[in-house]
Every structure is written in structure tokens, then in C-alpha cells.
Structure 1
């Protein structure tokens, strides 16, 4: 993770004390309509020319493009689920499902284009799993944040102490393997870093922009 990522995680941990009471309150999920997406990893023009500073509007436009490309596949794949098939989508968190590099706050707002896709899938019985490099010390506040903005969390995988010394790509691949071992078919894996998507164990992968690593 980048130095900025660790600073953000420390900030989340500090915020945890302030939201402890809130964690006991059922999260109120927004109910916006969702429109999913599909296809293979999409590289955007903006991601190829990483600017010194990432513009929020450009990032959102690029995220919408990736998710719009994913929609036809997800619609078809979800509709064609075989009898008894347990479908799942795996998501990264930072700058994938949540906006965390654009004015930090807690709870972090959802990345709207990704939330729309997630809602489309979860409303049709697809399980949502979240695999992140965040440490387990902030698992509870992370799960609360995801639920608060509208995600249905079927499982949240965070790094324990041993995992902190493990290659991130290897760690994330192992978590997808564990999800498959529970009987799920991972129909899509969505993240903004190569470490989110490498290693297989997903039918399709979709890469959101990180602008040559400028977004964690």
C-alpha cells in the first residue's frame, strides 16, 4: 500500500472511536437503481497518461466507462445462472467500491458507478465479497462503511498480522480461492490495481483506473 493509504487507514482507526455507537445501529442503505456492466479489463486513455494530480470528474467518467462496458456481460451471466449456482462478485475497496483518495471522510462515500453495478447484482441474488489489503484492526468500521452506503456484504476479507508480510496479489488470490471453496462461482472480479486482479479465480476481470499507481 502507498504511504497515503496507510495515513488514511490510521485516520479510519482514529475515527472508529467516534463511530462505535453508530456500529450498533442498523445501516441505512440508499436505494438507487443500479445498472451493471461486463467485458474484459478496460484501459482508459486517462490511465495511460497519468497526470500529476488526478481530477475527480475524470476519474468518475473513467469509472463509468469501465462499468458500462461490464454491463452486458453481467446481465447475461446473471440471467444464465445454472440451477443451484451460487454466483459472486469480488470487489476491492479503496477507490473501487469506496471513494478514499478524494477528500477523506468517514464513512467514505461509495464510488457511484461501482455501487450501481453492485446493486444490480445483489438485487438478483449475487453475493458480494470484498477483498482488501486493509488490516483487520479496522474490519468493523470498514464493514459498517460498506453497508452504510448500500452494499450487501456477504464476506469481507482483511489482512491479519501474518498477511501484512505476504505479497498482496498472492494474498488476494488466496481469498478468492477460499470463496470458491465455499461453493461460489466468481463471475467477476473488480479492482483498480493489478494486484486486485492477477492470479485467476474469476471468470472476468475489470480494472478501474489508478493512473499509474496514483490512486491506491
Structure 2
């Protein structure tokens, strides 16, 4: 079939339009997603939604704790207990693992350098949840995807952010690089093996809560990045 035949019959124009239809199948534009995520944060909606989930967890913990022997809660750290917003914004929502982080609020900001600097502030509502748990004699455990070589820096950051006590801090072994759930669920199971009942598990990623070992899971908002 020749080009002239296609033009004469109009079939050529139909075929030329076919690629346009493919736009409907493309993923969301990354630039649009960045602007939407920034607006969500800066509008206050992110903090409102975050605080709403924490309030639900606080209500559950205060209600459930007296009914359980050795109750415990498990908290993720990044975007659950500590906020990395300064690093996230400086890197325009990208992940830059290595390199310095010494030009904030400008980037680039190396994520590992940022975490080891201990500068991440705590979420006020999460601090209130931890205080509520301690008043109700609930053990507090942290399970984070940060690797073991960040233990000292992470503990220092928690102290500087106002968290003075916890019952356990589990970091990812240096040899672990797979899915977060493959590390976090067994870590919760190990807490249960010590006789605790995990009445609440909180995290900002579905992988923080996957595969059970908690009575209730509370998923916090985080459109800024995904950890599988």
C-alpha cells in the first residue's frame, strides 16, 4: 500500500494519529508530580493528614494498652518519627545517596551525610504519641531501614529531637539490601518472641507494615518517595 493511496483514502491521517492515543497510557508526568507534592506539603495538608493518623494511633494505644500484658508499639524513623524534609526539598525529591550535605537549603544534599549529621527534627505529633505510650507503660521500639553503620548517628539524632528513651532500636544489617518488609517483619516477630504484644505499628511506607506481627498498622502519608 503506497503513501499516495493512504493520503487519497484518509487512512494515512488515521495512522498518524495513533501515537497520540498512546499518551493516555503514559505514567504521570514527573514534573507535575513534584509540583503537586510540594504544594501538598506547603499547604499544610500533609501535616494535617499526618497528625490525623497519629491521633488515631494515640487513641488506639491509650484504649488498648491497659488490656494487654507487655504492650508495645513499633515506629519507623524516617518520615514517621523524624522529618527529612530539608534534604528532600534540597534534592528536588530525588535520592542522592552519597556526597556532602553542607549547602542547605540548597542542594545537592547527600542522604547518608544528612542522616549522619543528626539534624532531622521530630514530628511534634509523634513525640506526643511516644509520651502517651510511656504514660501507659507501653514499650517503644524503632525499626528503621537505615543500615547498622548509622546506629550512633541515629541514636544521637533521636536524643537531640527530644526522644530520651526507647526499648529497642533495630537497624538493617549491612548485608541486607532487599525489600524492606523482608527485614522489618522478622524484626517485629523478634519483639513478639520476647513476650511483647505489638498493639500498633506505624510507618510511612506500605513495606513498613507488611506481613503482620502487629494488632493494628497505621500508614502515614508520604507522596515524596517510595521504599519497596
Give how far 1:215 is off.
6.6
Q: Which has the higher contact order (CA 8 A, sep 6+)?
A: 1
CA distance in 2, matches of 1:58, 1:106: 26
Deviations 1:3-32 (A, max 9, x none): xxxxxxxxxxxxxxxxxxxxxxxxxxxxxx
Q: Check whether the contact 1:143–1:153 (CA below 8 A) recurs between aligned residues.
A: no
Question: Where does structure 2 lack aligned partners over 5 or more consecutive residues?
Answer: 1-32, 88-113
Within the alignment, does 1:78 sit opposite 2:90 as a pair?
Answer: no
Q: What residue number does 1:61 align with?
A: 48
Q: Distance in 2 between matches of 1:187 and 1:68?
A: 15
CA contact (8 A) 1:146 1:153 kept: no
Q: Partner of 1:150 in structure 2?
A: 162
Equivalent-residue separation in structure 1 for 2:204 and 2:156 (angstroms): 22
Question: Over aligned residues, Cα RMSD in angstroms?
Answer: 2.0
Q: Flag the structure with larger Rg.
A: 2
Q: Which segments of 5 or more consecutive residues in structure 1 lack a partner in the other structure?
A: 1-48
68-77 vs 153-162, which moves further: 68-77
Q: Is the 8 A contact 1:147 1:153 kept in 2?
A: no
| The structure with more helix, counted as a fraction of residues | 2
- How far residue 192 of structure 1 moved from its aligned partner, in angstroms, is 0.3
Task: Note the C-alpha offset of 1:214.
Answer: 3.1
Number of equivalences: 163
Please tell me whether the aligned partners of residues 57 and 200 of structure 2 are also in contact (alpha carbons under 8 angstroms): no
Q: Are 2:118 and 2:156, in contact at CA under 8 Å, matched by a contact in 1?
A: no
Deviations 1:152-178 (A, max 9, x none): 2211111122212x3211110010011
Alpha-carbon distance between aligned partners in 1 of 2:63 and 2:191, rounded to the nearest angstrom: 22
